[in-house]
Structure formats: structure tokens, C-alpha cells
Structure 1
Amino acid sequence: MIYWVIVALWLAVLCAVARAAARGKSGVYGTTWLLLAVLAIDVVRNIAENFYFGLLWGSRYGVFPEAVETALARPELLILPKILNVLAAILVLVILLWRWLPLAATERSEALRTMSAQSAQIRREAEEQRLLFETSVDLILVIDRAGIVRRVSKSSAAILGYLPEEMVGREGSIFAVPEQRASLKAALSTLAAGQRAPEVVADMRHKDGHLLTLSFLGVWAPGLDSGLVIGRDITERMAAALRLDRLAYFDQLSGLPNRVSLLRDLSAALDGADASPLALAVFDLDGFKDINDFLGHSTGDRVIGEIGARLMRLASDGCRFYRSGGDEFFMLFKGGPSPDAGVAQAEEVVRILEERIEVDGYRLFVSVSCGLARAPDHGHRSEDLILNADLALNAAKAGGARKLGVFAPAIRTEARARQEIESELRRAVAQQEFELHFQPQIRLADDAIVGAEALLRWRHPERGLLAPAAFIDALSRSPAAAEAGQFVLTSACEAAAAWREKGLGALRIGVNLFPIQFHSRTLLDDVESALARSGLDARQLELEITENIALGHGDEVLDVLKALHKRGIGLAFDDFGTGYASLSYLLRYPLTRLKIDRSFVQKIADAAAPEHAAIVQSILVMAHNIGLEVVAEGVETERQMAFLRAHRCEEAQGYFFARPLPRADFDAFASARLARPTRGLG
């Protein structure tokens, strides 16, 4: 029975060998196949031998028939298993000698070559790592859990000034500035715990003492119980970033933060948790343009630099200054709840800015205007607060230089009204809503009409006919004034030419000029165009200028007026007596006539105000002495006219004679005036 057990076991082994061979068709090579072949031969031999003896002994003990024993017990068959053993041994020996030994030698040779190649690769990689460690431009540190430096790349000498041997054995964080050592240690602890450590930027102290900035990244090697930390010098990159930051957020002339910084800081302050009131003041240097124009922009730049230096000295944790551009500066500071909160602080800044400035050998003084707005009373958003501070500044400047204004809702209402009337004025010019009325000018010697002053009216589509008081100031400041001035000039010349053609005589026409007509430098061309278009004699045109035009343009006005005078056009000085520099202009400008302001004329017959009569009399005497004729404005009574006639005033205009009249009504008035007998000259 034992033989059959052995046969079964060897059959199991044969099946296992067959399955191994089947599984290894695509992945089993060389000596493995030889081993399987030898094993298969031996298995087959053992199965055959044990099968034979199992039949033989089984028939002997009655398991099989006796005929089986008789058939198998022959001598030649008994020797067969031994022959099979010998044949099997010979076959295995042949396989070993013919196939296995050469194949084993080949595989050993290939294995040796592979090991040699792998060893060379390992040595090459190790050499590359060594070269990388030794020649890296970055700082490479091997650090243990305690933060002690165990190995350092040679780049330490170039980056930190320390040789590797000077750093080995020392704690790595000691080379950082003291206030940043804790963050380096915390990053190392995170790294040693097997977690990903974020990039750490730290200021390191060079051996010679100067500071440089390094960026550190690291990995931990658990098997070696050490970490590899790479530090990159980013000093130049950080410096470049700082330069870009200064370009983006700082003004280059004054050194102060710019408008971008103001918007950022103001928004942060308004959105912050601190609910304390804020105040924003805007400062404007009055007349700074004159410094640039007359002393040069380089001097102006140095003035801005000095202003910036003064403001930087005034800055504190609760008070910051900014330059918005040009000659405009801002102060952001904590205000108080009262309406006057911050006024005293702003006034102190104004006082310091107005102190003498010495640059380029000049001793200069600048006057400063200021506008102040508070949050939350005057706005919850940065844009609103800046706008309201600017509105307060504009209101302050409108009241004269060196003024400080605090925002009030009425200021915004007035600004909105100015914006609306500006829009309406542009529409009025485009849609020809303006028209002229004419006020007669009477010669007092004989009551004859000698001319008229063209006065602008606005036929508003909703408000009806508007007198100049309702819009002339806004129009004077508007760009629409240039086109309106051309309309007045052309229409007035056409009206005067038409009067002459109707037989009303060569009446003189007086035309008021806007300052912008001098600024645009087209006045000479506009006058020539109006005269040519209307056919009016130049001697019938009289242009009226006011002192604000003369003060605003200086020599520019003088050159134009001389050219007009040479052309034969009359020049009248309007509203004489209301300014402070009129006497100098009487001698400087080529004038032909003075117009006494109505504020003096209306009280010349008032016994309670004898000074007005004295002033008018003095003006008349002075004008006659320098060869100028005089027109008195605003004559409303017989007594006023009598006074003027008695003191040899040449002409007058006012309600006593006629109000400003539409063109058709003026034609009728002039015709009637010419038809009546003139007063004698005696």
C-alpha cells in the first residue's frame, strides 16, 4: 500500500511541476527551465518504479490477481527500475553538462555585468549627489533632530561667509537674526515629525555682519534620522520686490505713500473693527504752478520733496500722510466726535507747510488750503470721504487762499448744482438758447444815443428768460464760455451793422469778453471773423475787459489789446473802481474809455454817503487828465444824471434811460430817440 501512496505523492509533484511550467511560459527562463526538466524526469522515474513494485507486491499479498505477480516477477522486469534509475541519472547528467552548465555560466556572466552596471550607476549617482552637494550655489544643510548641523555644502562660504567646518556642530538657527530663530526651530520640528514644512523666509547674519534674506525648504530622511534643508539667497529678489512695491505704493518725489496706498489704508480703516471716528484732510499748495513756471520744474520737485520731508516728520501711528499727485497731499488720522474735530491738527499742518522753504538758493513761501471730512459722518466709503474732502477744499479755495473748510452737506448740494448748470450751459450753446439784449448808451451833453452794450440772456426752456446774474459766473468758468463769447461777438457786430443799414447811425457796440477768450488765444481771429462776416467798421466795436481778465493773463492780454487798438477797435475798462490794481492798468493798457461801476453811481446823490460822490468826481478828473472818456453805469435817477453832467461825464447808461432791450425793441427805441430833438450843447 505504501507504494501507491508514494505514486500518488509523485503524481501530485508532477502536476505541480506541470502547473509551474505552464505559468512560467512567458516569465521563466534559463536554469529554472532546466530545474523543472530534471525534476520532471525524476518524478516520472519514481512514479514508474513505485507503480511497478506496487503491482508486484499487491498481487503477492492478494490485492491483485496472482497472474499479475507471475507476469511481473520475471528477472528481466525486476531489473527494469534499476535501468530506469540509471537512464534517468544519465539523462539528468547530460542535461546538466550540455545545457545547465553553459547556461548557468552565461547567466552568471550576465548577472555580473548587471551588478557591475548597477554598481557603476550607484557610484555615478553618488558622485553626482556629491558634486551637487559640493558645487550647489544654494546652501545645503544636513541637520539632526536637535537642529545641529552635521554637514554643510561649500556654498556656505559664498553665501554666509562661513566655511563648512565653522558651521558643523553648531545649531543652524543661530545664524539667523534672534527674532526669527523661533520660526526656524518650529519649521524643523514640523519637518522632523514627518510633516510637510512650509517655506520659511528668514534674515540671516553674514559673517561680516550684514544681513541677507534666505528662503528655506527641507525634507526628512527617517532612515538616517536627519533632514536635508536647502536655503536659497533671495536678498536681491526681495530688494527688487521692495523697489516694485515702492514704485507701486509710494510717490517718488516726496517719499510719501501715494494715492493707491491712501485708498488701501482708508478702506482698511473704514472696514476695520476699530469704530473710532476717522478724519481725512486734503492740502493744496496755492500758486505752486507759478513755482514750476517761473523757477523751473526741478525747483518745483525739490519743493515737493521738502514738503514730503516735513509731513514725514509729522507722521505717527495715528496720523499718516500721502501725496495724491501734483500739489495735493492727504492726511489720514483719528478724529473726534465734535464737528470741529481735527481742525486744530489740520491747522497746525498748514502752519508748518507755510514756513519758509529754501531750495536752489531761493527763499520760498507757499500758501496752503485745506479741506476736511470725517467718517462716518461724511461718508462710509473711501471714495465718498475723499470726494467730500475735495469738495470742502474747493469751498475753502473759493473763499480765498489760506482757508480751511470742513465738509457740510450744503457743499455737495452746491457742487451738484454747479455740475447741473454746467451741463445745461453746454446744452444752451449747442441748441442756441442764448440771445442778446442791448442797453442804450446816452451822450449826456445832448441826450443822443451813441451806442449800446450787448448783454447776454438765456432763454431757458423751463425757467424762462434768465438775466446774467443767474448764470454768468458759472458760464465764465465753463469751457462753453469760448463758444458763447464767439456768439456774443458775432451777433453784436451783426446787430450794429444792421442799425447802420437802417439809418440809425454808426452806433458803437460794446461787447463783454470772457477770460477764456484770451486764454484760447483766438480772440484776434474771432474779432476779424466777426467784423468780416457782418461788414461792421472796426471803429464801431468796443471790447470791454474787467480787472480779473487783466490780472489773470498779464502780458498775454497786453499784446492782444495792443493789436486790437492798432486795428481801430475801442477798449473799455469795465467796473472801474471795484479792484485794487486798476490805476496801473490805466497807464499800461491802450484803453479808450472807463466805465464807472454802478455801486458808486447809485449813491452819488445821497447826502449820507458823500464819499461816493467824491470817488466818482475823482475818477472823472483822473480819466480826463489821461485822455480817457467815461461811461457811468447804473444811472437810475434825474439827480444822478445831473451830477454826472455837471462834472463833465461823457456818457451814461441805466434804467433812467432804458432797460436792456431785445433787438427789435432796441431798434424802436433808437429810432424814437433819433426822431426827437437833441438837447443843446450849451
Structure 2
Amino acid sequence: MVEKSESQDRYAKLLANSATAVVCANADNIIVSWNVGAERLFGFSATYAIGKPLSIIIPFDRREAHAAGLARAAKSGQTQLGGKSIDVQALHADGHEISVDLSLSMWFEDGEPMFGALLKDVSDRHIAQQRLEYLAHCDPLTSLPNRHSMQSKITEELALGPCSLLLLDLDGFKDVNDSLGHSRGDELLAAVAERLTKAVAGSGFVARLGGDEFAVLLNGCANPIEIDDVVSRIFERLHPPFELVGQSIFIGTSIGIAMAPHDAQDVEQLLSNADLALYSAKNRGGGVRAFFTRAMHNMSEQKRRLSNELRQALANNEFEIWFQPQFSARDFELAGVEALLRWNHPVHGILTPQIFLDVLDESMIAEEVGDWIIDQVCAVAARWKRSGLDAVRVGVNLFPSQLRTGRLYPVITSALQRHGVQASDLEIEITENTVLRHNHGLVNELKKLRALGMGIAFDDFGTGFASLSLLKKFPLTRLKIDRSFVAKIDRETGDEAIVRAVIGMADSLGLAVIAEGVETARQEAALVRLGCEEVQGYRYGRPMSEVEIVDKWSNRSSLAKAQKSFQRRAARANR
């Protein structure tokens, strides 16, 4: 059996060499034991520490409370901290504070109370905890409060009284990301956050909600005039260009505003209504502010109902494809058709895309409808060939969602193979703005389709922000001049100059040109004079069914008669 003195000696040696700091003190607050772990943790040697007051490792502002607690424990013979582990601040020899985990024990030697403490450095744990708390409440990129913090702040302010929420979305930010890269986009967001904070100047709570969306909560304010003052400062601060990688970047913002309690009674409602107002501002072209109105809620509800009806329309086969003819401006032969979506509504009859296309574009079924259109167009092209209507190119408009998933090439090639149609029988139509939003990865898919012989047309050309370098980047075969330039081409010299420039540019790039929206003889004459190759519009035919196309143009005598009529008109136009 090991003698008790030997056991105590062995235990003392274990504690003396332990990596955990072990400190013992008597009832007079004097250190009587100081191990190797304590030397490493606090920076005092055992020779120096033993015999010194325990207060050498206690921060100055906590020494009085420590002395009082030690005195109470010595007097009562027990300590409230016994058997517990707590985090406290301690003082290092060099004067800086460290976070330690403290386990305190109390016992008696010769009737006198003694105190022992096991201490471990938990500074890293505290730093990690602080980091987690920071991430939970702050945006690491801009150092602004995040969405969670904004929601908590709104809850507080709603309990105190009126307040107003401004939601901001940067106009054109995606173009910066696409052209300069995401790291530069992050720099821009940080710079916007700095300017926004200065614009609000302490009158509100600024947060970044995510992406390029920011929010400002105006405390105790539901006065539109005061809100407009803040909005004006924001617009003014964000107006000057941002300097990034030697370039001057101009960025605008759209702002949606909701006020409490007038517009909302709770957090979710206030955020939702401000978001509806923001959507309205962006729909007006951006760069403006919009206050929430009840009508926006009605529009949102109508949009939701329309989206549900569109789902039913797809399930019930209510969509139809109509076709508008396209003609050669030289001899007025039928050159192609543009496939156009129609909705045969069970109550309202045939509906044009202007009524439902915006909602369909943003719906979950847009890609599915787009796939259906491609399949239907290929099926129609195959039937036309069997009817003797050859060499008719079919233009197909794409939804933006079809350009995001990387499925475009397999969907189209599968439909071509399934219906026995040549790639050259189709022409894909994409708009400038769609390309600007989805050009990453899209180029390669379009190049593969072009390699098969398929045409690629830029629709609504001139209405977006495409650059000449973008025209060279994409494998285009045709530019479609938007109807807005054709409408006054015979009356406005500016419109005529634009069309002339587009035709000249297209010719130099080896691209064909077609003008949309031709309705009058004077418009036709102007386009023929400028050298436009193809024309499309109500002057030549409204959108019609598959069968009507066959009836009009598969009959050779009818086709010859129509061509002669067009040729006479062309001759008159050129006189």
C-alpha cells in the first residue's frame, strides 16, 4: 500500500508539471503555489509569483470585487464558485488581458481555508465566438449589419413608434460583375456601402441584405418629405463615378419605400411592401424611388393568379404557336416566319404575349414552355416540308431561363432529330439585354448550334446596350431592327440614320438584316432604298396559324401572284 505522503507528493509533482495552470492562494490572498502551466499562461515565474498577492493576475477593475468575494468565502467556509467552470478575464505580466476558463476549489489546512484554481487559456475560443456573433449580425464584405440585424432592428423600432424602410437595388451591377469580375464587384459593393452610410449620416440604420441589395431604416420617421430628403442625398452620393481598376464606373440605384404603421404593422409586411415598391421602381426603368401603394399589392396578387393560370394553361394544352411571315425586300419571296406564342384562354379567347409574357418569363414553367415551343416548331417545320412548303426558315424566340441551365443545345438537337428537321430550318432569336444578362457559357452553346448550320438572330437590335465587341463575340447571322426605329423612318431623319448605320455595320460584319414592324408603303420604300434585305410586319401579313401559312404559300399559283404584286410595289418604291 502506498503511503499517503507518497501519494500527495506524486499528486503535487503532477500538478507542478501540468500544462494546465494551477494556482493556490491562502485566505490572505497570497499565492502559495504556482506551477509551470501558470508560468506559461501568465508570464510570471514561480519565484516571482509565490508570496505575491493573487491580484497580480486580476485586472484592475475587478480586484475590489475579487477581494470581497475571497473574504466572504473565507468567513463562511464555502465558495459559490466551487465545482463550477466559468470564463473570466485575467491579467498577463505584460499588461494585456486574457480570457481564461476557471475551475475553483476550496479546502482547509490546519483549520485555515485554502483556495486552488485550474486555469486554461480560452482566448481562441472567445475570438471564434466573437467571429460567429459578428457573422451572425454583420456582412463581412461591407461590415454593415446584415438582414438578420435589420429584421431585429425593425422589430425594435416598430415597438417604439413610426419608422420607414428603404430598399435599394443597384442598377447595372450585374454588368460590372460580368465585365470586370466578381472581385471588382465586391470592391464596388464596399464602396457603395461607404457612400450610403455617409448619405444617411446617422439618421438611419444601414444594412446590406445580400447581393446588390441594401436597406435603410429611418427611425421615428414616416414623413414622405423627410424621406425624400434622405433619398435625394443617397442619389446625390451615388451619382459620381466609382474608380475601379483605372475605369470610371457609373452605378445607379432604384429605391422602394414603405412606412410603418401606415403601410405595415409587422416586420415581414414592411419588408414585403418595400420590396413591391422597389419592383415598381425598377419597372419604371430604374434610377427612381417609389413609395408603396395598395395598388402594388393588387398587382402582385394579380401576377400570382396569372402565374397559376399559366401553369394550368400548360397542363391543359392551351398554348398555340402562330407564325408571322418574313419576306425578301428584293423580290418579296417568302423567306421565313417568326414563331409567336399565343394563349387560347378558355374564357378570354386568343391572348397575345403582351398580356402574359412578362409573368411567364419569371415563372417556374418558362423553361418548360420554351422547350415545348422548340418541339412544336420542329414538328410544324416537318409537316410543312411534307406539304411542299420548302426553304422556309422558322425564327424561335427564347426565354431567358433557357439560357441559364446549359440545356439549350441538347434540347434543340433532340427536337431536330425527333422530327427529322435540318438545323438550317431554324433561327434562334435572342435579345440584346438577355445576352448581356446571360453571356457566360451561352457563347459556346450558340457556337455549337451555329456549327450545325442554325441561324442566330439578335432581336430588337438597338434597344439594349450591346457593344460592337459583343456583336463580334457571338456567332450571329442576323440583326433584327426594332420596330421603334421603323415606325418613323420615313419622317425622322434620326431614325433613318440609325437604320442606315445598322445596315452598314451588319454588312461589314457579314450579317443579314431584317426590319420588324413594317406597316406602310412609305416605310417599305425607305427600307428598300437603304438596302434592307428582309422585312416583316402587318403590311405583309399578321401572325397566322400553321394551316393558314400552308394555304397561302404552298399553292404555287397563289405564291407567284403574290410575288408579282410585291415586285410591282418594289418597283414603284424605287422610282
Length-normalised TM-score, structure 1: 0.62
Instruction: Tell whether 2:90 aligns with 1:204.
Output: yes
| Counterpart check, 1:336 vs 2:182 | no
Q: Does 1:142 pair with 2:26?
A: yes
Which stretch shows the higher mean deviation, 292-301 or 211-220? 292-301
1:254 and 2:254 correspond: no
Deviation at 1:139, TM superposition (A): 2.2
Which one-letter code corresponds to 2:545 in the other structure? P
Provide the C-alpha distance between the structure 1 equivalents of 2:240 and 2:116, rounded to a whole number of angstroms. 56
Q: Deviations over 1:159-187 (max 9, x none)?
A: 552768867585x5575333323433453
Within 2, Cα distance between the matches of 1:211 and 1:617? 74
Q: Quote the residue 2:374 is aligned against.
A: 489
Residues 310 and 353 in structure 1, CA contact (< 8 A), matched pair in contact too: yes
Instruction: Tell me what 1:177 maps to.
Output: 59
Aligned positions, number: 550
Aligned ranges for residues 291-310 of structure 1 at < 5 Å? Answer: none
Aligned residue in 2 for 1:467: 352
SS in 1 for 2:344: strand
Q: CA shift at 1:472, angstroms?
A: 2.1
Distance in 2, Cα, partners of 1:591 & 1:266:
48
Counterpart residue number, 2:546: 663
Q: Secondary structure at the match of 2:338?
A: strand
3-state SS in 2 of match to 1:475 = helix
Q: Measure the CA separation in 2 of the matches of 1:298 and 1:585.
A: 22
Report if the CA contact (8 A) 2:99-2:122 is conserved. Answer: no
Aligned to 1:510: 395
d(CA) in 1 for partners of 2:7 and 2:471? 99
Q: Which of these residues, 153, 178, 181, is aligned with residue 33 of structure 2?
A: 153
Q: Secondary structure at the match of 1:256?
A: coil
Contact kept? 1:270, 1:380, Cα under 8 Å: no
Q: 1:367 aligns with which of 239, 251, 256?
A: 251
Go from structure 1 to structure 2 and tell me whether the alpha carbon gap of 1:135 and 1:343 turns closer, same or farther (over 3 Å shift): farther
How far apart, in 2, do the equivalents of 1:624 and 1:203 lie?
74
Change (3 A) 1:128 1:446: closer
Report deviation, 1:275: 0.6
Specify whether residues 177 and 321 from structure 1 end up closer, same or farther in structure 2 by C-alpha distance, changes over 3 A only. farther
Structure 1 residues 415-424 or 124-133, which shifts more? 124-133
Kept in 2, the 8 Å contact 1:286–1:366? The answer is: no
Quickly say closer, same or farther: Cα 1:307–1:181, change in 2 above 3 A.
farther
SS at 1:489 equivalent? helix
Determine helix, strand or coil for the equivalent of 2:542.
coil
Q: Deviations over 1:312-358 (max 9, x none)?
A: 99999986665555555555663522236566557767877888878
Number of the residue aligned with 1:440? 325
- In 1: Cα distance, 2:276 partner to 2:109 partner: 68
Q: Does 1:574 align with 2:459?
A: yes
Q: Any residues of structure 2 matched to 1:522-533 within 5 Å, and which?
A: 522-533=407-418
Gaps of 5+ in 1: 1-116
Letter in 1 for 2:59: V
Moved more, 593-602 or 468-477: 593-602
Structure 2's unaligned 5+ residue stretches are 569-575
Distance in 2 between the 1:134 and 1:661 partners? Answer: 96
Kindly provide the amino acid, as one letter, of the partner of residue 675 in structure 1. S
The code of the aligned residue for 2:69 comes to A
Looking at secondary structure, tell me which structure has more helix per residue.
1
Question: Once structures 1 and 2 are overlaid, which stretch shifts more, 630-639 or 284-293?
Answer: 284-293
Give deviations 1:66-108, integer Å, cap 9, x for gaps. Answer: xxxxxxxxxxxxxxxxxxxxxxxxxxxxxxxxxxxxxxxxxxx
Q: Show the 5 A alignment for 1:384-403.
A: 384-388=269-273, 394-399=279-284
Contact 2:166 2:274 in 1 (8 A): yes
Evaluate the alpha carbon distance shift between residue 245 and residue 463 of structure 1 in structure 2; reply closer, same or farther with a 3 A threshold: farther
Query: Once the two structures are superposed, what CA deviation does each residue of 1:8-63 show, in whole Å capped at 9, x if it has no partner?
Result: xxxxxxxxxxxxxxxxxxxxxxxxxxxxxxxxxxxxxxxxxxxxxxxxxxxxxxxx
CA contact (8 A) 1:448 1:673 kept: no
TM-fit CA distance, 1:456: 0.6
> C-alpha displacement at 1:661, in angstroms?
2.0
- Taking only the aligned residue pairs, the percentage that are identical comes to 34
Cα separation, 2, equivalents of 1:651 and 1:520: 33
Which residue identity does 2:356 align to in structure 1? Answer: F
Question: Which range is displaced more, 492-501 or 212-221?
Answer: 212-221
Q: Which amino acid aligns with 1:254?
A: L
Shift of 1:469: 0.5
Q: Is the 8 A contact 1:280 1:372 kept in 2?
A: yes
Q: CA-to-partner distance for each residue in 1:448-494, whole Å, 9 max, x for gaps?
A: 65543221112345554321101223333445333333332332233
More strand by share: 2
**What's the CA shift for 1:436?**
0.6
Indicate conservation of the 8 Å contact 1:603/1:613, yes or no.
Answer: yes
TM-aligned CA distance change 1:640 to 1:327, over 3 Å = closer
- Is the partner of 1:492 in helix, strand or coil? helix
Helix, strand or coil at the partner of 1:138: strand
Aligned partners of 2:507, 2:12: CA distance in 1, in Å? 106
- Does the 8 Å contact 2:516/2:536 carry over to 1? yes
Instruction: Kindly provide the amino acid, as one letter, of the partner of residue 91 in structure 2.
Output: R
> Which amino acid in structure 2 is aligned with residue 256 of structure 1?
S
The alignment partner of 2:337 has SS state of strand
- The answer to whether the 8 Å contact 1:508/1:541 transfers is yes
Q: Does 1:618 align with 2:503?
A: no
Give yes or no for contact 2:513–2:534 (8 Å, CA) kept in 1: yes
* Structure 2 counterparts to residues 8-47 of structure 1, below 5 A: none
